[in-house]
Amino acid sequence: MVQNFYQEVQGFTLIEILIVITIIGVLSALVLPRFFVNLNDADIATCKSNLSSLNEAISRYMYVNGGLPPAVIGDLIPNYLERVPKCPVGKSTGAYLIGTDNLAICSNGHTL
């Protein structure tokens, strides 16, 4: 008996692998931008929630102190806030300040 030294190898061809890689690349190019937009929207919603909490704390502070606003956001700790939140939007976290109308404002420009 003569042995067959040329066995048929089962596997993928180079063209098939390239097509699969191309399809994965196209699908990821379509999906990933939408994912990052949703993350940014969530960060903006968090910032607005922080502003709302800060404004509530400022109102309580002013009620207790006869209408005088706090000089800085840090004056609200520990009686009105556990900690001062930071804006999650952007590469560095932004700070919240007290505006001239005695409402909290975001250094990144977000408003309620």
Cα-Cα-Cα-Cα dihedral sign, residues 24, 29, 34, 35: positive
CA angle 66, 97, 72 (to 5 degrees): 45
pLDDT at position 9 is: 65
pLDDT per residue as tens digits for the range 65-76: 787 777 777 777
What's the CA dihedral at 45, 47, 53, 59 to 10 degrees? Answer: -120
Instruction: Judge whether 111 lies within some domain.
Output: no
- Residue 26 domain-assigned (yes or no): yes
Within a domain: residue 97?
yes
pLDDT at 93: 58
**Tell me, what's the pLDDT at 4?**
62
Which pLDDT score, from 0 to 100, does residue 41 have?
77
Is 85 within a domain?
Answer: yes
* Low-confidence residues in the chain, pLDDT < 50: none
Separation CA 9–CA 58 (nearest Å): 74
Domain that holds residue 94: 14-106
The pLDDT assigned to 21 comes to: 93
pLDDT of 22 reads 94
> What is the rounded CA–CA span in Å between residue 55 and residue 50?
9
Domain tally, the chain: 1
- DSSP category for residue 87: B
In a domain, 7, yes or no: no
Is residue 47 a part of any domain in this protein?
Answer: yes
Question: Which helix or strand (DSSP H or E) is residue 106 part of?
Answer: strand 104-106
Per residue in 42-79, is it b (16+ CB within 10 Å) or e — as a string?
A: ebbeebeebbebbbebbeebeeeeeeebbeebebbeee
pTM: 0.59
Predicted pLDDT at 40: 74
Question: How confident is the model at residue 61, as a pLDDT?
Answer: 81
The answer to whether residue 5 sits within a structural domain is: no
